[in-house]
Amino acid sequence: MDSDCAFCDRTKFEERIIGEDKNFWIIATLGQITDGGYTLLVPKKHIPCIGAMGFKEIEHFEDLAKRIRLALSVEYGIWPVNFFEHGIVGQTIKHAHIHFVPENWQITERILKDFPEKFINLHSWLELQFLYTVKPEPYILWLDSREEIIKVYWNPPAPLQYLRIVIAEALGRPERADWRNMDPELDKKLWIETVIRLKPYFR
C-alpha cells in the first residue's frame, strides 16, 4: 500500500465503487470518454501494472474481466467491449488498472502510425504475466476488436494518457481525453449513472 496513491485509499473513490472482492475494486472512472459505462478494474494490492500480478491473481483478474465485459455488453448493448491498459507507459496514477470502454473503436492503425515498430499478440493474460516476469518492461495494451486479440507494445515513447487520447479522438470526443480537464458536472452525472446501472451485476 502507498499512502500517496489514489487507488490505495478507498475514501478517494468510495462513491464510484461498482463492486469489490478481497483482491480487486471495480470503479466507474473519472473522465467518462463514453456516455457512461467506462469502468476500471483495479487490484487492491499496490503493483505497477497487470503484468506484475502473480499466477493466481492473474487467473482471478481474468474471471473478473470477463464478468465486467459481459455486464457492459448486456447493459449497454454492445460487443465486443473494448479495453486497454497503460502498463506503466502513460499512467497518471502509478497503480495497475485496466480500462473497459463500451464503445466500438479501432486504434491499431493509429498506434502503428505513431510507433511504427512491432507489437505482439497475446493469447492469454497468463502470457502477459509470463512475458512481464521474464522481462519487466513498461508497455501499452489494447484489444483489437476486429480480431478479438489483445495486442501489446513494449516500451513505446508514449505521452501521458496516450491511449485515452487516441480513443477519445477515435470516438470524436477529443475534449474528454484528459480526465482532469473534463467538465466535472457532466463527468459526475455519467459516473453516477454508471455506478447505478452496473452495481446490480456485482452484488
pLDDT score of 1 more than 80: no
Summarize pLDDT for 115-129 with one digit per residue, the tens. 987 889 999 999 999
User: Residue 199, Cβ neighbours under 10 Å: how many?
Assistant: 15
What does the pLDDT read at residue 90?
85
Summarize pLDDT for 82-120 with one digit per residue, the tens. 999 999 998 889 999 999 999 988 899 999 999 987 889
Q: The cell 454508471 sits on which residue? A: 194
What does the pLDDT read at residue 149?
92
pLDDT score of 4 more than 90: no
Beta strands in 44-129 (DSSP E): 82-87, 98-101, 120-122
Residue 107 lies in domain: 10-202
What does the pLDDT read at residue 117?
79
Distances (CA, A) of 91 to 88, 101, 159, 200: 5, 17, 9, 30
Q: The cell 470524436 sits on which residue? A: 172
Residue 5 in domain? no
- State how many domains the chain has: 1
Residue 1 in domain? no
CATH assignment of the domain containing 190: 3.30.428.10
Residue 65 in domain? yes
- Alpha carbon of residue 13 to chain centroid: 16
- Is residue 84 a contact partner of residue 34, using CB atoms and an 8 Å limit? no
**CA 97, 103, 106, 107 torsion: positive or negative?**
negative
More reliable by pLDDT, 180 or 98: 98
- Phi and psi, residue 202, nearest 5°: -130, 30
- Phi and psi, residue 100, nearest 5°: -115, 125
How far is it, in rounded angstroms, from Cα 7 to Cα 55? Answer: 22
Residue 82 in domain? yes
Q: What value does the mean pLDDT of the chain take?
A: 93
Residue 4 in domain? no
Summarize pLDDT for 6-38 with one digit per residue, the tens. 999 999 999 999 999 999 999 999 999 999 999
Residue 176 in domain? yes
More reliable by pLDDT, 170 or 3: 170
- Is residue 34 a contact partner of residue 197, using CB atoms and an 8 Å limit? no
Residue 2 in domain? no
What does the pLDDT read at residue 110?
93
Residue 151 in domain? yes
